[in-house]
Structure 1
């Protein structure tokens, strides 16, 4: 766990809960500044086609939204900055509104196949695509800029990798197709041999 992540998340109430249930609390060291993303984190982010974005409303209610796109749609601009294009959805704009009131966000990036999870804390801001065309082009998904309305830029505070213990493996259609590809080929081969024998 990166030092700043521990410093931010292990609040007094969390430490009291740890003492109550486990008899001791996590040791907290002083954290100075932010924890930049490393190469392992950048590779993991580039390989994701979705993530969960947590924000908080001005009334204190948390909200979690799923964001999806082609692999790498969440871009690492530099070790301390992430960004993605925000496309038109159901027009509720809950996350967008929350970010105007409270810029704190939490991201969960899941790799179900390999049972890995990366959690990122940061401060996010929303920009209109018309105000930053160069970045909008860089972040554009396969549909181009036609439906992109906003850019979400996240200044990373810290991150943490979770253990795989309770992550249930799941597979994308592409991963399943890749796994069963050799079986399908072998079945086609055997069917062809059977037809040949029957003829």
Structure 2
């Protein structure tokens, strides 16, 4: 856990519960030091670039939190620096709840999951909508050729803090592409064995006709 993550989320109420349950000592050192935004490293940037979806939380003017699932091909979410994430926001049901929430409160939380490796990355930041002109050439997360979804806007997230969370209770799950990649060597091996069996059968006499 980074220092900044604890500084932002360990409210007096959270600290009181930590005190009551005996976890305050372990977390106390993680909030000490000057306040300053976290910097993304190659680990966070690489993890983000390979995601095909993530969860995005914002808060409405009514005070209700709202969580939205965002998805796209690998690369639709990417780091454009050590403080910024950008993602292509594809056209959906056009309710515009998240976009409306950002008009009043730009604070967001992102949850990035890798179910096969039981890994999750939590990110806190401030988001704003943007156009392609707001990013340098080559850094705009546009869809690959043939991808049918329409990019309605770009969203830039200025990262405040992040935390790599523990794998406890994350159940491994696999996409069809991930399963295919895992099963491909076994399928090739089975096909080779079937060909070998066919060759052996073709070169052997029929046991029923022997004698």
Q: Does TM-score exceed 0.5, indicating one fold?
A: yes
SS in 2 for 1:156: strand
Specify which of 81, 84, 102 is matched with residue 81 of structure 1: 84
1:185, distance to aligned residue in structure 2 (A) = 1.2
Work out which of the two has the higher radius of gyration on C-alpha atoms and give 1 or 2. 2
In the TM superposition, 1:42-61 aligns within 5 A as 42-61=45-64
Contact 1:136 / 1:151 at 8 angstroms: preserved in 2? Answer: no
In 1, distance between residues paired with 2:23 and 2:84? Answer: 38
- 4+ residue stretches of structure 1 with deviation over 4 A? 130-137, 143-146
2:185 is aligned to 182
The answer to whether residue 22 in structure 2 is matched with residue 22 in structure 1 is yes
In 1, distance between residues paired with 2:46 and 2:97? Answer: 29
CA shift digits 1:13-51 (9 cap, x unpaired): 111122223374631314322111112111111121111
1:12 is aligned to 12
The answer to whether residue 82 in structure 2 is matched with residue 41 in structure 1 is no
Gaps of 5+ in 1: none
In 1, distance between residues paired with 2:110 and 2:138? Answer: 21
Contact 1:7 / 1:30 at 8 angstroms: preserved in 2? Answer: no
2:176 is aligned to 173
1:157, distance to aligned residue in structure 2 (A) = 0.4
Task: Say which is worse superposed, 168-177 or 144-153, in terms of deviation.
Answer: 144-153
In 1, distance between residues paired with 2:149 and 2:162? Answer: 33
TM-score (norm. length: structure 2): 0.84
In the TM superposition, 1:143-162 aligns within 5 A as 147-162=150-165
Contact 2:85 / 2:159 at 8 angstroms: preserved in 1? Answer: yes
Would the alpha carbon gap of residues 185 and 84 (structure 1) be closer, same or farther in structure 2, given more than 3 Å must change?
Answer: same
SS in 2 for 1:37: coil
In 2, distance between residues paired with 1:33 and 1:135? Answer: 29
2:35 is aligned to 32
The count of corresponding residues between Structure 1 and Structure 2 is 198
